[in-house]
Structure 1
Amino acid sequence: MLTVGDKFPSFDLTAVPGGPEGLKGEFVQISDKSDAGKWKVVFFWPKDFTFVCPTEIVAFGKLSKDFADRDAVVYGVSIDSEFVHLNWRLHNEDLKDLSIPMLADIKRELTEGTGVMAKDAGVALRATFVVDPHGVIRHVSVNDLSVGRNPQEIVRILDGLQSDELCPCNWKKGDDFIKV
Structure 2
Amino acid sequence: MLTVGDKLPNFSVKATVSLEKGKEFTTITQDSYKGKWIILFAWPKDFTFICPTEIAEFGKKNKDFGDRDAVVLGLSTDSEFVHHAWRTHHPDLKALPFPMLADMKHELCNALGILHKEEGVALRATFIIDPTGVIRHVSVNDLSVGRNVSEVVRTLDAFQTDELCPCNWQKGEETLTKKLAKAG
SS in 1 for 2:19: helix
Letter in 1 for 2:86: W
- 1:11 alignment partner AA: F
Query: Distance between the aligned counterparts of 1:4 and 1:22, measured in 2?
Result: 35
Partner Cα separation in structure 1 for residue 89 and residue 60 of structure 2: 19
CA deviations 1:30-55 (Å, max 9, x no partner) are 11101211000000000100000000
CA contact (8 A) 1:127 1:143 kept: yes
How does the TM-score come out when normalised to structure 1?
Answer: 0.96
Within a 5 Å distance, the mapping from 1:4-153 to structure 2 comes to: 4-17=4-17, 21-24=18-21, 26-153=24-151
Q: Which structure 1 segments of 5+ residues have no match?
A: none
CA contact (8 A) 1:23 1:86 kept: no
| Separation in 2, partners of 1:12, 1:24 | 23
CA shift for structure 1 position 10: 0.9
Asked if structure 2 preserves the Cα contact closer than 8 Å seen for 1:16 and 1:103, the reply is: yes
Provide the rounded CA distance (Å) in 2 between the counterparts of 1:115 and 1:165.
29
* 3-state DSSP of counterpart to 2:108: helix
Cα distance in 2 between the residues matched to 1:79 and 1:146: 17
Structure label with greater radius of gyration: 2
1:175 matched residue in structure 2: 173
CA–CA distance in 1 between the matches of 2:65 and 2:32? 16
- Which structure 2 residue ranges, 5 or more long, are not aligned? none
What do residues 112-132 of structure 1 show as CA deviations (whole Å, max 9, x unaligned)? 100000001110100000000
SS in 2 for 1:123: coil
User: After superposition, what is the alpha-carbon deviation per residue over 1:63-109, rounded to whole angstroms, capped at 9, x for unaligned?
Assistant: 11100000000000000000000000001111112111100000000
Q: Quick check: 1:116–1:127 contact (8 Å CA) kept in 2?
A: yes
Counterpart-to-counterpart distance in 2, 1:44 and 1:23: 24
8 Å contact from structure 2 (residues 19, 88) kept in 1 = no
| Contact 1:23–1:89 (CA under 8 A) maintained in structure 2 | no
CA distance in 1, matches of 2:131, 2:99: 19
Which residue in 2 is equivalent to 1:3? 3
**1:172 to partner: Cα distance:** 0.3
What displacement does 1:23 show? Answer: 4.4
* CA apart distance, 1:24: 2.9
Which of 139, 146, 156 is 1:158 aligned to?
A: 156
